[in-house]
């Protein structure tokens, strides 16, 4: 029999949590980031309550590796700062403490609440969205402002137990995602929760309860009120989660995809191959460049526009430039992609055309190009996805891996080929335009 203890009902009559003692759960201290442990112990020794909370508790219980270890406490930001000399307070709306250990940052948040009956000036907009979230509270308040029950488990450093106010432990076992409170109201408060729900379904391999799913199916329009900057941050999280392909498929299924991307074709072999490759890389602990992923996702739209411009007689390079300008403009209306990242996306796409120049010093210059690797990867994936660039991709694969002498030989062959080609077409009646995806 499980010996789950209950604490006494609080004086305010709030529901008592389940306390799952150390012997009854699988979170071992050896799996917890040592800096996070240090912070927890220091807070505890100073007489404060301190808990690991959110995604890290959930991921540890599911046997996954947490991305970050967040701490919740009843200590106020100033009190936290007094305890840690390596502490920086951040945030205007809600002050958070960052405890710095070299590259490793442990985020410590004071328990907070939100006003139930807030009016626009007190923290909610007309759509019911929370725009201000800055009032300190108790652990009970902190629990109910979290999104899903599996994200509201607290690991108590005082006795290594897990404190569960909302049934999150059962959801972890049942592998279900259940919104805390009234799902419709919670989606209205913060529509990003629509995206988070699908990201967690994919990442945690969970299903959504019918009462959470029902509003999810009809509230996509709420995302129109979320800033493109916040949506961009959410897309980055999707890209870095290791289950991007599954998340993209869910976003398509629930008709949310168009809120993030101007166009993602469900059947696109390129997107499917590229995203499953990147997911694999992330699961192996490697990184994936967001610019590359944007280039992959936008490539089909870009090349469709290029073909249209070429059909009107525009030279390929100009056609790509024009297509990119148009596509990036549309895309950045949805997501605030930083300028540098936009430049990288452009370069990765432009390289697809530059790869077709294989004479003289050109290929050597491309090898030195800062985006060569990403551009080259896209070329290989296009070939794998069935675009007519197989010969070009194989050539670059060989050129890339060859010795300097062999490279010289390959260039010579290219020069000869093209001079005999030019000879044959010395007096062409009309210059044929090249579609971007063929050589």
- Of 5 and 115, which has the nearer Cβ to ligand ATP? 115
Q: Helix and strand tally (H, E) in the chain?
A: 18, 13
Sequence length of the chain is 439
Rule CB under 6 A: say whether 183 interacts with ligand ATP.
no
> Which residues on adjacent β-strands are paired with residue 106?
99
Rule CB under 6 A: say whether 124 interacts with ligand ATP.
no
CB of 161 to ligand ATP, least distance (A): 18
DSSP track, 299-350: HHHHHHHHHHHHHTT--HHHHHHHHHHHHHHHHHHHS---HHHHHHHHHHHH
Cβ-contact 125, 150 below 8 angstroms: no
Report the candidate in 253, 243, 231 with the shortest Cα–Cα distance to residue 275. 243
Q: Among residues 59, 70, 142, 171, which one is catalytic? A: 70
Report the candidate in 375, 363, 260, 353 with the shortest Cα–Cα distance to residue 303. 353
- Of 114 and 371, which has the nearer Cβ to ligand ATP? 114
Q: Which residue is nearest to Mg ion (CB)?
A: 55
Q: Which stretch binds Mg ion (CB under 5 A): 65-73, 77-85, 129-137, 309-317?
A: 65-73
The arrangement of strands across the sheet holding 5-6 comes to 5-6, 18-20, 161-164, 153-156, 50-53, 70-73, 104-110, 96-101, 87-90
Quick one: which of 19, 21, 38, 68 contacts Mg ion (CB under 5 A)? 68
Q: Among residues 59, 133, 141, 147, which one is catalytic? A: 147
Rule CB under 6 A: say whether 192 interacts with ligand ATP.
yes
Rule CB under 6 A: say whether 55 interacts with ligand ATP.
yes
Rule CB under 6 A: say whether 67 interacts with ligand ATP.
yes
Give the 3-state secondary structure of 11-79: CCCCCCCEEECHHHCCCCHHHCCHHHHHHHHHHHHCCCCEEEECHHHHHHHCCCCCCCCEEEECCCHHH
**171 in active site:** no
**104 in active site:** no
Rule CB under 5 A: say whether 107 interacts with Mg ion.
no
Supply the DSSP symbol for 145: T
Q: Which stretch binds ligand ATP (CB under 6 A): 144-152, 167-175, 215-223, 384-392?
A: 144-152
Cβ-contact 142, 153 below 8 angstroms: no
**164 in active site:** no
Cβ-contact 18, 169 below 8 angstroms: yes
147 binds, among Mg ion, ligand ATP, none (CB under 5 to 8 A by kind): ligand ATP
Report the candidate in 67, 153, 51, 74 with the shortest Cα–Cα distance to residue 104. 67
Q: Among residues 68, 133, 141, 174, which one is catalytic? A: 68
Residues 118 and 326: their CA atoms lie apart, in Å, by: 41
- Of 95 and 196, which has the nearer Cβ to ligand ATP? 196
Q: Which stretch binds Mg ion (CB under 5 A): 60-68, 113-121, 347-355, 379-387?
A: 60-68
- Of 114 and 334, which has the nearer Cβ to ligand ATP? 114
Cβ-contact 352, 382 below 8 angstroms: yes
CB of 373 to Mg ion, least distance (A): 29
Rule CB under 6 A: say whether 151 interacts with ligand ATP.
yes
> How many binding residues for ligand ATP (CB under 6 A)?
14
Residues 217 and 97: their CA atoms lie apart, in Å, by: 37
Report residue 279 as tokens. Answer: 């997911």
Q: Which stretch binds ligand ATP (CB under 6 A): 66-74, 212-220, 356-364, 405-413?
A: 66-74
375 binds, among ligand ATP, Mg ion, none (CB under 5 to 8 A by kind): none
Rule CB under 6 A: say whether 54 interacts with ligand ATP.
yes
CB of 75 to ligand ATP, least distance (A): 18
Quick one: which of 25, 114, 146, 382 contacts ligand ATP (CB under 6 A)? 146
Rule CB under 5 A: say whether 79 interacts with Mg ion.
no
Residues 199 and 111: their CA atoms lie apart, in Å, by: 25
Quick one: which of 17, 55, 168, 183 contacts Mg ion (CB under 5 A)? 55
Quick one: which of 190, 234, 279, 310 contacts ligand ATP (CB under 6 A)? 190
Report residue 157 as tokens. Answer: 């450093």
Site residues (vs ligand ATP, CB under 6 A): 54-55, 67-68, 70, 146-147, 151-152, 190, 192-193, 196, 237
Active site residues: 68, 70, 147
Residues in the site for Mg ion, rule: CB under 5 A? 55, 68
């Amino acid at each position: 029999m499980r010996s789950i203890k209950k604490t006494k009902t609080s004086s305010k009559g709030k529901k008592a949590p389940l306390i799952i003692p150390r012997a009854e759960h699988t979170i071992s201290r050896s799996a917890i980031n040592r800096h996070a442990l240090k912070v927890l112990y220091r807070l505890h020794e100073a007489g404060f309550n301190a808990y690991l909370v959110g995604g890290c508790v959930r991921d540890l219980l599911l046997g996954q590796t947490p991305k970050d270890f967040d701490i919740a406490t009843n200590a106020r930001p100033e009190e936290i700062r007094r305890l840690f000399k390596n502490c920086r307070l951040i945030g205007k709306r809600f002050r958070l403490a960052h405890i710095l250990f070299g590259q490793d940052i442990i985020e410590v948040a004071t328990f907070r609440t939100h006003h139930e009956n807030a009016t626009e000036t007190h923290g909610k907009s007309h759509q019911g969205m929370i725009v201000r979230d800055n009032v300190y509270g108790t652990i009970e308040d902190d629990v109910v402002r979290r999104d899903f029950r599996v994200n509201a488990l607290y690991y108590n450093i005082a006795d290594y137990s897990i404190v569960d106010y909302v049934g999150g432990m059962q959801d972890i076992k049942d592998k279900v995602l259940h919104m805390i409170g009234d799902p419709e109201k919670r989606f209205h408060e913060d529509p990003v929760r629509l995206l988070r729900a699908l990201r967690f379904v994919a990442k945690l391999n969970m299903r959504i309860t019918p009462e959470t799913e029902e509003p999810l199916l009809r509230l996509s329009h709420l995302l129109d009120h979320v800033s493109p900057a916040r949506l961009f941050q959410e897309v980055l999280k999707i890209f870095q989660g290791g289950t991007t392909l599954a998340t993209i498929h869910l976003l398509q299924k629930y008709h949310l995809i168009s809120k993030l991307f101007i166009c993602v074709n469900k059947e696109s072999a390129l997107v499917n191959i590229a995203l499953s490759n990147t997911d694999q890389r992330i699961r192996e602990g490697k990184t994936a460049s967001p610019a590359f992923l944007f280039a992959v996702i936008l490539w089909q739209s870009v090349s469709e526009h290029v073909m249209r411009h070429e059909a009107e007689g525009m030279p390929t390079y100009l056609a790509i430039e024009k297509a990119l300008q148009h596509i990036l403009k549309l895309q950045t209306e949805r997501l605030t992609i930083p300028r540098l990242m936009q430049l990288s996306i452009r370069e990765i796409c432009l390289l697809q055309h530059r790869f077709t120049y294989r004479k003289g010093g050109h290929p050597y210059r491309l090898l030195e190009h800062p985006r060569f690797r990403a551009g080259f990867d896209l070329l290989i994936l296009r070939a794998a996805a069935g675009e007519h660039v197989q010969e070009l991709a194989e050539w670059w694969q060989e050129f890339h891996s060859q010795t300097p002498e062999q490279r010289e030989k390959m260039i010579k062959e290219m020069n000869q080929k093209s001079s005999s080609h030019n000879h044959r077409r010395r007096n062409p009646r009309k210059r044929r335009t090249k579609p971007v995806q063929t050589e």
